[in-house]
Each structure stands twice: as structure tokens, then as C-alpha cells.
Amino acid sequence: MRILTIIVGALLTILGVFSVANAGLSFLSLAFPIGVVLIIVGMVECFAYKRTVEDEENRHWVLIEGLTTFILGVVVLTGQLAADIAVPVVFGMWSMISGIRGFVIVTQVVEKEEKDIDFYWTVAVSALNLIVGVYTFFNLMLFHLSVLMILGVCFVVQGANVIKIGVDISYSKPELIKTKEEKIADAEAAAEEAHKEVRKAIKKARQARKGIKKAEESKEFHEIIREPIGETDSEKPEEKEK
């Protein structure tokens, strides 16, 4: 599945380059190959989302993107996008959703040690998707690029995004054919992952204790200001005796 995802990502990128090279053609002349490729990419993303190394919440974004791509491919194949003026806007929304998804994932990376090459790759691809998506709404006011030129840029950026999803898919060799060194490496990786989870749990526990302490201090403060002016602790027992 990992290799298949990378292949369809490269296929989408090639489709983008081909669209840019033939920007003078009409959208309908390339509607069939575009629709077929989008359906294939969407299906592969839907099947591959559970095998990505991202957490459970971020995996759902991959599934949503795959379903969106699949539906968009069906819409193109059925000829529902006949007007050239609507095509860039629809594909711009597609790119913009992908860019927003990437930035949502990026905002969840709070630990400095997690900001590796994958982090900056996600930031770059998400920013490009967002810029291209927003530009499609103002194309007529700015450079007035052709439909296939805009779609080609969208496909190239989205192809890079799909390739990244394929790279993130975890590959696990069957235990029967693993060597001793590979088993040791897997055990060390699992131990390192467990240590990361422990550090995250300790950090959350400290934050929870700080929250409890602040809540207790806030409670004591509210109890003090609610006491009548002039009332002291020594006066309270006398009032009870009366």
C-alpha cells in the first residue's frame, strides 16, 4: 500500500505537469483522464489512511481528503463540471481543504523535537495548497490563467501531498522473515515511542496539577470575598452559641 500510494501521488504530479504543458486545451478535452486519476487517488487514500503513522485524529483527515478526491473525480467523469468558470473554483476548494487539513495537523505539533523535515514539508505543501486554493477565486482579477494551468498547479501540489502520505505509511515486515537485528531495531523503536508517550503523560499530569492548584486558590479567594465585611473567624463560634 505504501508503494501504491507513492505511485498514485507521482501519477497525480505527472498529470499536473501534463496539464500545465497543454494549458491551451479546453478542460473537457482532458476531463476523462483527470476524472480517472482523481478516482484512483481517492480510493487509494481511503484504503491507506489507517496505515499512516499519524495519530487517530489526523488519520480521519486523510480519509476525508480521500473521499473528497473520489467524489470530485466522479463529478468530473459524469460531466457535471461543464462550465470553465466553475472548474477552477471547485478545484480551488479542493486544494484549500487540503491546505487547512495540513495546518490543523501542524498546529498539534507542540514539542520542539517533533519539528523535523516532515513538519516543514507539511507546512510548505499546506501553504502552497492554501495559496493556490485562494488564488482560484481571484484568477479573473489577477493573472487570468487558463483553466488547465490552474488545475496543473493544483495537481502538482496535491501529488506532493499524496506522496507524503505514502511515505508516512508504516511498513512492517512479517515476523517470520525478520532478522535478529531487525527485531532488535523494532524493539528499540517501540521503547523510544513508549518513552515519548510517558513524557507526554508526565507533562499532562503536571498541567493537570497546576490546574487543580489554580482552581483551589480561586475557590479560596471567592470564599474570602463572599464573607461579610468585619466578620472574622473568632466571631463565628459566638454566633453559633447564640
Q: How far apart are CA 58 and CA 33, in angstroms?
A: 30
pLDDT score recorded for residue 196: 76
Please state the length of the chain: 242
Virtual CA dihedral for 158, 159, 163, 169, nearest 10 degrees?
50
How does pLDDT run across 9-58, given as a tens digit for each residue? 999 999 999 999 998 888 888 999 999 999 999 999 888 877 765 555 56
Residue 143 near residue 193 (C-beta atoms within 8 A): no
Task: Name the residue type at position 159.
Answer: G
Residue 65 near residue 181 (C-beta atoms within 8 A): no
Residue 29 near residue 21 (C-beta atoms within 8 A): no
Largest Cα separation within the chain, whole Å, is 97
Residue 68 near residue 43 (C-beta atoms within 8 A): no
pLDDT score recorded for residue 11: 94
- Which three three-digit cell numbers place residue 236? 463565628
**At 169, phi and psi to the nearest 5?**
-70, 130
Q: How far apart are CA 150 and CA 128, in angstroms?
A: 13
How does pLDDT run across 68-89, given as a tens digit for each residue? 999 999 999 988 887 778 898 8
Q: Is the pLDDT of residue 229 over 50?
A: yes
Which residues are CB-contacts of 166 (< 8 A; sequence separation ≥ 6)? 2, 3, 4, 5, 6, 7, 8, 9, 48
Residue 92 near residue 134 (C-beta atoms within 8 A): yes
H-helix or E-strand spanning residue 198: helix 180-226
- Which three three-digit cell numbers place residue 129? 495548497
Task: Name the residue type at position 149.
Answer: M
pLDDT score recorded for residue 242: 46
Helix axes of 87-107 and 56-77: crossing angle, nearest 10 degrees = 170
Q: How many helices (H) and strands (E) does the chain have?
A: 8, 0
How does pLDDT run across 190-221, given as a tens digit for each residue? 787 788 778 878 888 888 888 787 776 775 55
pLDDT: which is higher, 178 or 120: 120
Mean pLDDT of the chain: 80
pLDDT score recorded for residue 214: 76
Mean of pLDDT values over 138-165: 89
* Residue 134 exposure: Cα atoms within 13 Å on the Cβ side: 7
